[in-house]
């Protein structure tokens, strides 16, 4: 009987110790969970920062690749234009400027003997064009522009007239004189809309508009290029450029 009474008296004390231990255990678990959660949040923040950094790097690399690819395409296009110029000069070299092709059914009459040139005679068109073109390739842009202007003044009906007008624009563009270059490229489109330099003139006009901060003009030039010359190399470049516009 005494033992039973003693147990009943001690039971509340024992129960209180058990509850305290359970409370301490639960508190420790909560502290552990809170610490783990903070660690996970820290790791998530770090991973998010790394992901953003990786995204930025990927974007920069893609932008750099697009720029380099566009530059490479432009160089290839410029080489194609130079080749076309070489071909044009070769075709016109055999005939005097403005002369018609001989009739294939008959024998061409013998050419008259060359007359001695006087001081007022025109310079040789091929030599004049080649000199200006050589100045362009050497970076003598002002001399090249003067030479091509002289060529257009003396031989406006030449098959190389559109080429000369186009390279005047290129001379200004190379000097970052975009307003002057745009005006010259627009002359190509106004005077020679169906010649072989028209597509390149549309493309370079778009670049001039872009450099001048005139985005609508750039988009319109490139869209017109794609519409009028869909199979030209410049059309592919224009499509890439349109994608880069804001």
**pLDDT tens, position by position, 220-246:** 999 999 999 999 999 999 999 999 999
pLDDT of residue 213: 97
Which residues lie below 8 Å from residue 92, measured CB to CB, with a gap of 6+? Answer: 125, 126, 158, 159, 160
Percent of the chain with pLDDT over 90: 50
Angle made by CA atoms 168, 169, 171, in degrees to the nearest 5: 65
Rounded CA separation 214/117 (Å):
50
Angle made by CA atoms 207, 83, 242, in degrees to the nearest 5: 20
Neighbours of 17 (CB within 10 A): 10
pLDDT of residue 87: 56
| Six-digit token string for 56 | 């930025």
pTM, to two decimals? 0.58
| Six-digit token string for 198 | 């028209």
Mark the ranges of the chain whose per-residue pLDDT is less than 70. Answer: 1-25, 27, 48-120
What is the number of helices (H) and of strands (E) in the chain? 8, 0
Per domain, the residue ranges of the chain are 12-49
pLDDT of residue 96: 37
Rounded CA separation 108/104 (Å):
8
Query: Residue 159, exposed/middle/buried by CB under 10 A (0-12, 13-18, 19+)?
Result: middle
User: String of b and e for 41-78 (b: at least 16 CB within 10 Å)?
Assistant: eeeeeeeeeeeeeeeeeeeeeeeeeeeeeeeeebeebe
Angle made by CA atoms 181, 187, 192, in degrees to the nearest 5: 130
Give the CB-side neighbour count of residue 42, counting CA atoms within 13 A.
6
């Amino acid at each position: 009987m005494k033992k039973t009474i003693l147990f009943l008296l001690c039971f509340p004390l024992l129960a209180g110790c058990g509850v305290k231990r359970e409370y301490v255990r639960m508190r420790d678990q909560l502290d552990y969970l809170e610490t783990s959660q903070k660690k996970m949040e820290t790791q998530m923040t770090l991973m998010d920062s790394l992901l953003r950094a990786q995204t930025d790097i990927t974007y920069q690399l893609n932008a750099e690749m697009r720029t380099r690819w566009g530059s490479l395409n432009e160089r290839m296009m410029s080489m194609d234009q130079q080749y076309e110029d070489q071909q044009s000069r070769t075709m016109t070299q055999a005939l005097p400027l403005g002369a018609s092709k001989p009739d294939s059914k008959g024998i061409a009459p013998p050419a008259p003997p060359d007359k001695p040139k006087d001081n007022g005679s025109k310079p040789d068109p091929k030599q004049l064009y080649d000199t200006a073109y050589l100045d362009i390739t050497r970076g003598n842009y002002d001399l090249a522009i003067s030479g091509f202007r002289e060529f257009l003044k003396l031989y406006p009906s030449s098959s190389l007239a559109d080429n000369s007008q186009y390279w005047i624009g290129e001379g200004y563009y190379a000097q970052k004189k975009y307003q002057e270059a745009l005006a010259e490229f627009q002359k190509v489109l106004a005077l020679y809309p169906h010649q072989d330099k028209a597509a390149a003139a549309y493309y370079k006009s778009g670049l001039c508009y872009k450099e001048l901060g005139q985005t609508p003009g750039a988009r319109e030039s490139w869209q017109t290029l794609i519409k009028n010359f869909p199979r030209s190399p410049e059309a592919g470049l224009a499509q890439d450029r349109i994608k880069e516009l804001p």
